[in-house]
Every structure is written in structure tokens, then in C-alpha cells.
Amino acid sequence: MHDTLWGVAEADAIQSTPEPPTPEPPMPQPPMPRPPAVPAEEKVDIPDGVSAFVAKVLNQLSLSAWLPATLFAASVTLLVQFRADNSWSVSLALDRITDDWKKVLLLAVPALVLATMVTQASSFAAIRFLEGYWRRNGPLGLLRSALIYRHVRRLERLQRKRNAAADKAFAKAKDALRGRAPYTPNVLSGLEMKAIGRDVPDYLTAEERGTVRKLNWRSKCNAWDLAKVDHLEALQRDYPALKRRIMPTKLGNVLRRTEDNLRNTGGDLSSFVMRRREKVSPRIQLQHDQFRDRLDMYCTLVFVSGALSMISVALLLHHVHHWWQIAVYAGGFLGFACVSYSSAVSSARGYCVALQAMDDPPSGSVAGPAL
């Protein structure tokens, strides 16, 4: 009986014991804000230290500046070795350089980078100088006036030679055309004036004038006679249409002729390319950039080669056995300067074609983003 009561009391005690409170679930925390996404084109790894500085400097240097600077650094290295060896032997100089290449590399690499920076910074000035934009006062001003006078007289001679060649070419064809319709004597006289760039005679009737306008004086001429005419006309096209716009150099005249023919400059030629670039196709943009880079490079090479010619004389004087050995290197660099100038003129012609395409894009061309 006692055990039963105790069991009942224990059971009541167990039932009356309060259960521990159930812990409440934690309040949800707001998610941490994500950092703004960086576009793919802006994700650039930025290295630290000296390598970052070197990479940034090298990234600013163009290929058109590296090539002239490489020529300058390599040539000066060889010339210094010639002076040290008292010899002009290239093979001997290369052997000495390869024997101590680490020292040479330590000196040549900084010189190469510095030369590249200088050539790139001066490329635009080189183009302007070779165009003939010189100071009006002093010796350069006198030289500028003399060269402009020379080019004006040359253009006049080209015009006379072209007219004489055209007259000769048409004279041979006129004998075969005489007596055939519609080549009447008056029409032949009009075609002859047309061939040499003169006005049609006043005594021609309106019908005969119309016939002269329709006929091509070249149609019956010999190809070998017209070849000389075409050559002289091509030389004339390197000059501006107005004599008062003639520049003192060939490069300046080639560029000036195109600049005068551009119609959409808006009175500001310096910003023409920036305003018209996005209105043309990527192909024309690429062509413009290629020819402009070549023009920069060749104009810079003119001055680099000229400087190397003078440096070769200064370094080799009294350090080689014969004067003609100095003349070989100095003359070689001067010859390369002349070749570079000729290449600059050729590049300028291609550059002018790109400018004309920007000025008047071909119908149907699709403008693209700037490259």
C-alpha cells in the first residue's frame, strides 16, 4: 500500500514538473550585400612594383617607334665597338659583343627604351618638318622660299612637257582621223586644243563644240605616246591645284593637295579624322591607321639615319685606317635616309587615299565602331 501511494505521488510529481521552454529559432539575418559586378573589360590585373611601371611604359610605345629606335641602338652599339677595336669589321665587332653580351645588354636595353620614347614623342614633329613647316625667319626661311620657287618652276616645266607630249601624241592620230566623220577640220582643231589643255577656238559652231565635248582625244592615240603623257600628269598630281599653296617639299605638296580637296573639314582640318572616323567602315579605319603608322615610322627613320651618319663620322674619325671606310658607313646611312623619305612619300599617298575615303565614304558602306 505504501509503495503504491509512493508510486502515485511520484507519477504526479513527474507530471507536475514543468517542461523546459523550447528555444525560439534565431531571427533570419539579412544577406550581406554583394559588391557591384565589374564588367569584363574593366577587370585588369594590375601588377605591383617595378614590373608594373615597366609594363605601363612599354604599353604606351608603338611599333612605329620601336623600329627606328632599334636601328639607332643597334647601329650605335656597332659603331662604339668599331671605335674600341680600331677596325670597321662587322664580324669582329659582333664577336666582341657576343663575348660580353650581358654587359652590352645591360647598357643597350635602357638605351633602346629611351630612344623609343624619344622617337615616338618626336614623330609628329618629324612629319611637320619634312612637310616644310619651318620658321619664316632666318636661314630656314630663306631655304623655304628658295625651295617653293623651285617647285613652282618645276610644276610649270611639267605642264609644258605634258602639253608637248599630248600635242605630239594627238598629231600622229590626227593624220589618221582627217577626212573621217565626224572629224572635220574644226573638230580636229578643237580636239587638239583640248589635248593641250586650252580653250576650244571661238570659231567653232555650237554643234562642233558639242562634238568636241563628247569625243575623247586619246581614243586614236598610240599607247606608247600616251604613257609619257600619263607619267607627266601623275607628277603634276603631286602638287596642289593653286600655285600659291605649294610647299617647299615633295611630301608637303602631296599632303597639301589632299588637304585642299577635302570638303567636310568644317574649317578645322586638325580634328577632321576624329570627327569622320566613326562614319566610315572598320576597313577604312584600319587602312588609315596602317598608312599613318608607316608615315610616322619612315619620317622618323629619315632623322634617325641622318643622325647615325653624323655619329658614324664622329666615332670612327681617327679610329679606322682609311677615310673611305668612314664614308662607306656615313654614305650608307644617308642613302637609307633618302630611301626612308621616298617611302614616306609613298605612305603619304596611301594615307591621302584613306583621308579621301573618310571625306566621301562610298555608297553602301556601313559605318563601324572606332578600332
Tens digits of per-residue pLDDT, 154-213?
999 999 999 999 999 998 888 888 878 788 888 888 998 989 888 888 888 899 899 999
Residue with the larger pLDDT of the pair 87 and 190: 190
Decide: 153 and 248 in contact? Cβ < 8 Å.
no
Position 87 scores a pLDDT of: 82
Query: What percentage of the chain has pLDDT greater than the value 70?
Result: 81
Q: What are phi and psi of 61, to 5 degrees?
A: -100, 130
Q: H helices within 22-137, ranges in order?
A: 50-59, 63-85, 90-99, 101-121, 123-131
What contacts 58, CB < 8 A, 6 or more positions away? 113
Residue with the larger pLDDT of the pair 107 and 78: 78
Residue with the larger pLDDT of the pair 50 and 100: 100
pLDDT band, very low/low/confident/very high, at 58 (cuts 50, 70, 90): low
Position 367 scores a pLDDT of: 54
Q: Maximum distance among all alpha carbons in the chain?
A: 162
- In 3D space, the residue among 346, 366, 354, 361 whose CA is nearest the CA of residue 289 turns out to be 354
* Separation of alpha carbons 341 and 127, rounded Å: 10
Amino acid at the residue 167: D
What contacts 1, CB < 8 A, 6 or more positions away? none
Position 51 scores a pLDDT of: 67
The yes-or-no verdict on residue 297 having pLDDT over 60 is yes
Position 173 scores a pLDDT of: 87
Mean pLDDT of the chain: 82
Return the C-alpha cell found at 245: 599653296
Mean pLDDT calculated for residue range 284-292: 92
- Nearest-5° Cα angle at 98, 93 to 102: 125
What contacts 46, CB < 8 A, 6 or more positions away? 52
* Separation of alpha carbons 105 and 72, rounded Å: 15
Decide: 187 and 208 in contact? Cβ < 8 Å.
yes
The yes-or-no verdict on residue 9 having pLDDT over 60 is no
Return the C-alpha cell found at 26: 534565431
- In 3D space, the residue among 152, 349, 356 whose CA is nearest the CA of residue 261 turns out to be 356
The yes-or-no verdict on residue 299 having pLDDT over 90 is yes
Mean pLDDT calculated for residue range 67-85: 89
Position 93 scores a pLDDT of: 82
pLDDT tens string 219-229: 889 999 999 99
Mean pLDDT calculated for residue range 32-50: 49
* Separation of alpha carbons 206 and 251, rounded Å: 44
Least-confidence region, from 43-47, 136-140, 270-274: 43-47
